[in-house]
A and B are shown apart, each in its own frame.
Chain A
Amino acid sequence: MRSRIDVALALAYRQTTVLLKNPSLFLPPMLFPLMNFLAFAGGLSRLRHVQGFDFQGGYTAFTFVFVLLQSAAFGGVFAGFGIARDFERGFAKRLLVSAPQRSGIILGYALASLMRWAMIAIVLTVVALASGMQIGGSGVDLFGLYALAIIFNQVGLLWACGVAMRFQSVQAGPLMQTPVFLLLFLAPVYVPLDLLQGWIHSVARFNPLTFLLEAGRGFIEGRPTQVAAAFAVSAILLAVFAVWAKTGLARAERAG
Chain B
Amino acid sequence: MTTTLRQIWLIARRSIIRTFRQPGVFIPPLTFPLMLMAVNSNGLRAATHLPGFPTHSFLAFFLPFSFMQGALFASGIAGTDFARDIDTGFLNRLALTPVRDSALLLGQIGGALGIGAVQAVLYLTVGLVAGVHIDTGVPGAILILVLALLIAVGFGTLGLWIALRTGSGEGVQSQFPLLFFVLFISSMNLPRNLIEVGWFRDLATINPTSYLIEALRSLVIEGWNGEALGLGFGFTFALIAGSMWLASRQLKVRMART
Cβ contacts under 8 Å, B199 to chain A: 42
Q: How many residues of A contact B (CB 8 A)?
A: 37
Report if B96 contacts A (CB, 8 A). no
Report if B42 contacts A (CB, 8 A). yes
Contact of A32 with B184 at beta-carbon distance under 8 Å, contacts A45-B196, A46-B194, A198-B45 already known: no
Q: How far is the CB of A70 from chain B (nearest CB, A)?
A: 13
Cβ contacts under 8 Å, A36 to chain B: 184
Number of A-B contacts (CB under 8 A): 96
**Once the chains are docked, how many angstroms separate the CA of A189 from the CA of B185?**
18
Cβ contacts under 8 Å, A53 to chain B: 46
Report if A31 contacts B (CB, 8 A). yes
Cβ contacts under 8 Å, A189 to chain B: 43
Contact A46 B195 (CB under 8 A): yes
Q: How far is the CB of A5 from chain B (nearest CB, A)?
A: 34
Chain A interface main SS type: helix
Contact A38 B184 (CB under 8 A): yes
Cβ contacts under 8 Å, A42 to chain B: 185, 195, 197, 199-200
Report if A39 contacts B (CB, 8 A). yes
CB-nearest residue of chain A relative to B24? A171
Contact of A35 with B39 at beta-carbon distance under 8 Å, contacts A43-B189, A50-B47 already known: no
Contact A196 B181 (CB under 8 A): no
Q: How far is the CB of A96 from chain B (nearest CB, A)?
A: 27
Contact B174 A46 (CB under 8 A): no
Q: How far is the CB of A47 from chain B (nearest CB, A)?
A: 6
Cβ contacts under 8 Å, A98 to chain B: none
Contact of A43 with B204 at beta-carbon distance under 8 Å, contacts A24-B170, A50-B50, A185-B39 already known: yes
**13 pairs, CB–CB < 8 Å, chain A vs chain B:** A24-B174, A31-B178, A32-B177, A38-B185, A39-B184, A42-B199, A44-B47, A46-B194, A46-B195, A185-B36, A185-B39, A189-B43, A196-B42
Known: A27-B174, A31-B178, A43-B204. 10 other contacts (CB 8 A): A35-B177, A41-B197, A43-B190, A45-B197, A46-B194, A46-B195, A47-B50, A190-B46, A198-B45, A199-B42
Task: List residues of chain B with CB under 8 Å of any chain A CB.
Answer: 24, 28, 35-36, 39-40, 42-47, 49-50, 170, 173-174, 176-178, 180-181, 184-185, 188-190, 194-197, 199-200, 204
